A and B are shown apart, each in its own frame.
Chain A
Amino acid sequence: MTDTLTHLDRLEAESIHIMREVMADAVKPVMLYSVGKDSAVMLHLARKAFYPSPPPFPLLHVDTTWKFQAMYELRDRMAAESGMELIVYQNPEAKQRGINPFDHGPLHTDMWKTEGLKQALDLHGFDVAFGGARRDEEKSRAKERIFSFRTGTHGWDPKKQRPELWNLYNAKKAKGESIRVFPISNWTELDIWQYIARENIPIVPLYFAAPRPTVERDGLLLMVDDDRFPLLPGETPVERSVRFRTLGCYPLTGAVESEAKTLSEVIQEMLLTTTSERQGRIIDKDGGDASMEKKKQEGYF
């Protein structure tokens, strides 16, 4: 096979190189695992990178207790299959105060995810955390480094990023500082889907269309995933054939009506669609135009 490698081959080799490079300087690395399709690809790449050893780090799921049931099922199955330790963290304060997406709006994301992540990293003393962010997702992510430095308080300073040349990553850090590493920075949504198809990677069935109970609210099609979903007066769940383009907390994640039941059909629909991937996510729109950049400075992934 002396042919030039395909783009997927080159992306895969780059991501594996990055993951191994982390092992040179990291004291206690961890892989953030959110059970979405990007996480699925990350886990698959980690298993390839270190085979026949299991990946030399645990998986960390920063849980909000509001994920889809199907996500919890796949999470536990994949952790068992990979032979990796799975750490599930739920912010105890958010739990105690009963923070939820229906009553607390942006506070829900802030406490469960942003604060929860910081707490989990501090609690276990992880100095390097792998994340599945991609540069094509959002404007501020297009400029973030693959090795992204965080201060002792997890802040991100876009003006103090280290230059990254060739495939040389500077992973040196002071005590207390940590690094977020994004091995699939250069992948696009289409690459992710194609790679899942090529490598037969298991993903949450919610990505495929099926009849599901849904209500329409604020322009989003929400799935009634359990009985915690408070129905407004006049709302009745309607069975619709829907699927999800991204997965998060079920009350915050909009479904799209679809008949795409296979990977090929999902990819086809994605290529023919006219809206971007994160459009169904409420999180990006809080606080206006620079919302994600602001969240990152505060310590969100």
Chain B
Amino acid sequence: MPNPADAPIYVTDALIAEDIDAYLAQHQQKSLLRFITCGSVDDGKSTLIGRLLYDSKMIFEDQLAALETDSRKVGTQGQEIDFALLVDGLAAEREQGITIDVAYRFFTTEKRKFIVADTPGHEQYTRNMITGASTADLAVILIDARKGVLTQTRRHSYLAHLIGIKHIVLAVNKMDLVGYDKAVFERILLSYRAFASEIGITNFTAIPISGFKGDNITALSDNMPWFKGPALIEHLEGVEVAAQRDVNSDFRFPVQWVNRPNLDFRGFSGQIAGGSVRPGDAVRVLPSGKTTTIDRIVTIGGDLDEAVAGQSVTLTLADEVDCSRGDVIAAADAPPEAADQFEATLVWMADEAMIAGRAYWLKLATQTVSATVQQPKYEINVNTLDHLAAKTLELNGIGVVELSTDKPIVFEAYADNRTLGGFILIDKLTNATVAAGMLHFSLRRAQNVHWQASDISRDMRANLKNQKPALLWFTGLSGSGKSTIANLVEKRLHRMNRHSFLLDGDNVRHGLNRDLGFTEADRIENIRRVGEVAKLMTDAGLIVITAFISPFRVERDMVRSMLPEGDFIEVFIDTPLAEAERRDVKGLYKKARAGQLKNFTGIDSPYEAPETPEIRIDTTAMSPEEAADLIIDRLLG
């Protein structure tokens, strides 16, 4: 092998000189492979990349001249060229002789174009490696032939596997320093294979190389006649790229931007994250679930008949359905799920540790929502792969967590779709990207939260209080007299040594339900929460009295169905609207009539009177005191 400095500098493809148009036509058809190199400085990683650039003629004379000067000044290879200097870009890195960030390099061969993510190898740079690996189709894991499989080899392999890289290349480097010994290579191969199968890597390609001398990089080396190939570049040129797999899955299109140049055109712009699409295809817009069909695939060069995963296009739909940024247009017969609770693997990337319960922004595809993370189920030791108990995740920590979002997001398992399964967490205060995550599956509350049995039963608690628990649910118009009568009832119960509790509508809205407004959805949630609290109190043996307008039959029935048969006693305070409005104790009817209060029951929002209440109180026929007596009689009598 000649000294690299004496090697021909720039030997180009003969076709370039002879027939440039033929060369360009051929070059335009090349595919793209993105790969990552993992290893530390000592493994000769930067040297290998420098070598790849050099051997594929991506180094120009002026760069080479600068490289030669640098090599003599700060190089570690004596008078020889230090290829690592080509790659370690930042001044700080050159001075310290380490790689602290991800650098992207580009080279092309006759068959393919390559983008290499060069990432540092040390444990403190785990996040950098994850970053570089997230877009890679393949990982080259470097091993120093003199050292064999080390802890860091295991770490790099685990991380590459974790991020879903399907093609692993084990490059056993520095073969020149072990006399190109076949036995050394095979010993390493054997021990790596055992480890790889342990973590689920079923397939990898091992190649003995010397990045420094150039053995088995572009062509098989005479120094290792026992190795039958492939050479590294030959292998990189041959592997199948991941894009192909995406094309064969179901159609997925996260909407990035609504394209609305004028009133006659409404398109949805985005990059296809899975499958393919044609005009006429039936699609579903998620999370709303509305179905429609694809009308056109619009591009500046004219409409397309088909578009496939990886392409950025603009779609129009046959019907006017609601659809905006963050929604996902998907195959109608195989839509992805929407959920708000998940299990995920999290890689922590910030100096400040994870805080369980704090709200972070979660960005997944084009959806950004607020999310909270629970304490890790466990943290993974990236060196031993042991599962450890953990309260938080520190910088470079990797763990499995449960997280919940403030509204449902459309997703798929990361293993099925990287775009709809990979997410980042953003600190709401500093705006820093603090974590990367990969969704495993959604957690449905009913499925995954189990009832905890306790030894003291509901009846035992009630017996101790010498009473039968019940829920007196007062319903009626605003100003009908609910609170007045409910209060009198509780005073009488108290005098009779009964244990009671009055849940008042206004009071609850100051605390438990202060995040709720008066929209229909919020009023429903208000009642649901009150029902749950009342149920816990009856479980504790109390007689619970509630006073809410609760205008909708279906919500009152919802609460009724939460309690044991007979415990829910519906008390209808029957005051006609005209009478309630005449009293107008709080002045609310006046405001509502003036249009200052929206959604006011009886005015612009309906009241559905109970059809068969347990107790009906006609306030036009009896006083509040008489009403209270009647209710006590019916309850205890």
The chain A residues found within 8 Å of chain B, CB to CB, are: 1-2, 4-14, 16-17, 20-21, 23-24, 47-54, 135-136, 139-140, 142-143, 158, 161-168, 170, 172-174, 185-186, 188, 190, 194, 197-198, 264-265, 267-268, 271-276, 279, 289-290, 293
**Listed A/B pairs (29) with beta-carbon separation below 8 Å:** A1-B306, A2-B308, A4-B244, A5-B310, A12-B312, A20-B257, A21-B256, A21-B366, A49-B312, A52-B261, A52-B267, A54-B261, A142-B89, A143-B103, A143-B104, A158-B92, A162-B433, A163-B131, A165-B134, A165-B422, A165-B436, A166-B418, A173-B431, A264-B24, A268-B20, A268-B23, A273-B60, A274-B60, A275-B62
Known A53-B259, A163-B436, A264-B20; judge A6-B62 contact (CB<8 A).
no
Residues on the A chain within 8 Å of B102, using CB = 143
Closest residue of chain A to B271, judged by CB? A17
A271 CB to closest chain B CB (Å) equals 5
Question: Closest 3 A-B residue pairs measured CB to CB?
Answer: A7-B32, A139-B89, A16-B312
Residues of B336-367 whose CB lies within 8 A of A: 349, 361, 363-364, 366
Cβ of A9: which chain B residues have Cβ within 8 Å of it? 310-311
Q: Told that A163-B433, A172-B431 touch, could you supply 19 new A-B pairs with CB distance under 8 A?
A: A2-B308, A4-B241, A5-B243, A5-B310, A13-B271, A17-B312, A47-B300, A53-B260, A54-B261, A143-B90, A143-B101, A162-B432, A163-B130, A168-B363, A185-B104, A188-B106, A272-B12, A274-B9, A274-B60
| Residues from chain A with Cβ under 8 Å of B92 in the complex | 158
Given A170-B363, A272-B16, A163 and B127 touching (CB < 8 A)? yes
Q: Closest residue of chain A to B309, judged by CB?
A: A5
| Interface pair A7/B113, CB less than 8 Å apart | yes
| Cβ of B108 under 8 Å from chain A | yes
**B90 touching A165, Cβ below 8 Å:** no
Contact A7 B90 (CB under 8 A): no
| Interface contact A190-B108, CB-CB below 8 Å | yes
A267 and B20 contacting across the interface, CB-CB below 8 Å: yes
Chain B, range 1-51, C-beta contacts under 8 Å to A: 9-10, 12-13, 16-17, 20-21, 23-24, 27-32
CB nearest to A17 among chain B residues: B271
**Contact between chains at B104 and A135 (CB < 8 Å):** yes
Contact with A along B122-161 (1 / 0, CB 8 A): 0000011011001100000000000000000000000000
A136 and B24 within 8 A (CB): no
Q: Which of A10, A136, A198 contacts B243 (CB 8 A)?
A: A10
Given A2-B308, A168-B422, A170-B433: A50 touches B63 (CB 8 Å cut-off):
no
Bound Cα distance A197, B610 (Å): 76
CB neighbours of A164 from chain B (8 A): 131, 433
Q: Which of A13, A24, A143 contacts B311 (CB 8 A)?
A: A13
Residues B409-445 near A (CB distance < 8 A): 418-419, 422-424, 426, 431-433, 436
Q: Report yes or no: B424 in contact with A165, Cβ–Cβ below 8 A.
A: yes
Find out whether the CB atom of A50 lies under 8 angstroms from the CB atom of B269.
Answer: yes
Q: Which residue of A lies closest to B105 (CB)?
A: A142
Q: Which residues of chain A are within 8 angstroms of B314 by Cβ–Cβ distance?
A: 51
Q: Is B298 an interface residue (CB 8 A)?
A: yes
A43 to chain B, nearest CB (A): 12
Q: Is there an interface contact between B312 and A140, defined as CB atoms closer than 8 Å?
A: no
Whether B381 sits at the interface, judged by CB under 8 Å, is no
B263 within 8 A of A: no
Q: Mark B53-71, 1 if CB is under 8 A from A, else 0.
A: 0000000111100000010
A5 to B242: give the CA distance in the assembly, Å: 11
Verify if B247 is at the interface (C-beta below 8 Å from A): yes
How many angstroms from the CA of A208 to the CA of B200 in the assembled complex?
55
Asked if B299 lies at the interface with its beta carbon under 8 angstroms from chain A, I say yes
Q: Contacts A8-B28, A51-B298 known; A276 to B91 CB distance under 8 Å? A: no
Q: Is the beta-carbon distance between A24 and B325 smaller than 8 angstroms?
A: yes
- The answer for the CA separation of A140 and B312 in the assembled complex, in Å, is 29
The answer to whether B104 touches A290 (Cβ under 8 A) is no
Which of chain A's residues have a CB closer than 8 A to the CB of B13?
A: 271
Residues of A near B241 (CB, < 8 A) are 4
User: Given that A49-B269, A174-B431, A290-B91 are contacting pairs, would A198 and B16 also be in contact in the complex, using a CB cutoff of 8 Å?
Assistant: no
Q: Does B115 count as interface, using CB distance less than 8 angstroms?
A: yes
- B431–A166 CB distance below 8 A: no
Q: Which residues of A contact B260 (CB under 8 A)?
A: 53
- B265, CB-defined interface residue at 8 Å: yes
Chain A residue nearest in CB terms to B32: A7
Write the nearest CB–CB distance from A84 to chain B, whole angstroms.
13
Tell me the residues in window 299-335 of chain B with beta carbons closer than 8 Å to chain A beta carbons: 299-300, 306, 308, 310-312, 314, 325
A293 to B93 alpha-carbon distance, docked (Å): 12
- How many chain B residues touch A (Cβ–Cβ < 8 Å)? 81
User: A268 is contacted by which of B16, B30, B90 (Cβ under 8 Å)?
Assistant: B16
Instruction: Write out the residue numbers on chain A whose beta carbons fall within 8 Å of the beta carbon of B418.
Output: 166
Please give, as numbers and ranges, the residues of chain B lying within 8 Å of A271 by CB-CB distance: 12-13, 16, 20, 23
Residues of B within 8 A of A173 (CB): 431
**Which of chain B's residues has its CB closest to A268's CB?**
B20
CB-based contact A50/B259 at 8 Å: yes
Residues of B within 8 A of A272 (CB): 12, 16-17
> B546 in the interface, Cβ–Cβ < 8 Å?
no
Give chain A nearest CB distance to B272 CB in angstroms: 9
Q: Is B276's beta carbon under 8 Å from chain A? A: yes
B320 → A minimal CB distance (Å): 18
Q: Chain A residue with minimal CB distance to B73? A: A289
C-alpha spacing A12/B307, complex, angstroms = 14
The reply to whether A136 and B106 form a contact with Cβ atoms under 8 Å apart is: yes
Q: Are A172 and B361 in contact (CB under 8 A)?
A: yes
What residues of A have a CB within 8 angstroms of the CB of B306 in the complex?
1-2
**B582 CB, min distance to chain A CBs, angstroms:** 53
Residues of chain A contacted by B101 (CB below 8 angstroms): 143, 158, 161
CB contacts (< 8 Å) of A139 on chain B: these are 89-90
Interface centre among B17, B32, B243, B310 (most CB of A within 10 A): B32
**Closest beta carbon of chain A to B180's beta carbon, Å:** 33
Q: Report how far A29 CA is from B364 CA in the complex, Å.
A: 23
Query: What separation, in Å, do the CA atoms of A213 and B620 have in the docked complex?
Result: 106
Contact partners of B366 in chain A: CB under 8 A: 21, 24
* 0 or 1 for each of B365-378: is its CB under 8 Å from A? (1 = yes): 01000000000000
Task: Count chain A CB atoms within 10 A of each CB in B23, B62, B70, B349 and give the residue with the most.
Answer: B62
On chain B, the residues within 8 Å of A276 by CB distance are 60, 62-63
Q: A53-B260, A142-B104, A170-B363 are in contact. Are A165 and B130 (CB under 8 A)?
A: yes
Q: Is the CB of A5 within 8 A of B308?
A: yes
| A81 to B92 Cα, complex, angstroms | 45
* Given A7-B113, A10-B32, A52-B298, CB of A23 within 8 Å of CB of B91: no
Residues of chain A within 8 A of B257, CB atoms compared? 20, 23-24, 50
Chain B residues near A166 (CB-CB < 8 A): 134-135, 418-419, 422
A213 vs B523: C-alpha distance when bound (angstroms) = 80
List chain A residues, Cβ under 8 A from B436: 163, 165
Is B30 within 8 A of A6, CB to CB?
yes
CB of B20 within 8 A of CB of A135, answer no
Residue of chain A at shortest CB distance from B267: A52
In the complex, A136 Cα to B135 Cα: how many Å?
Answer: 18
B131 neighbours in A (Cβ, 8 Å): 163-165
Shortest Cβ distance from A164 into chain B, in angstroms? 6
Min CB distance A10 to B, Å, is 5
Tell me, in angstroms, the Cα distance from A293 to B90 when the chains sit together.
7
Inter-chain contacts of B91 with A (CB < 8 A): 140, 289-290, 293
Q: How far is the CA of A136 from the CA of B115 in the complex (A)?
A: 10
Once bound together, how far apart are the Cα atoms of A164 and B432, in whole Å? 11
Contacts A5-B310, A165-B131, A267-B20 given; does A170 touch B431 at CB 8 Å: yes
Most buried by A among B17, B70, B312, B366: B312
Proximity bits, B218-247, A CB within 8 Å = 1, else 0: 000000000000000000000001011001
**Inter-chain contacts of A16 with B (CB < 8 A):** 271, 312
Which residue in B30, B106, B419 is a CB contact (below 8 Å) of A167? B419
Query: How distant is the Cα of A162 from the Cα of B105 in the complex, in angstroms?
Result: 19
A198's contact among B28, B61, B128, by CB below 8 Å, is which?
Answer: B28
A158-B90 contact given A17-B256, A166-B134, CB 8 Å threshold: yes
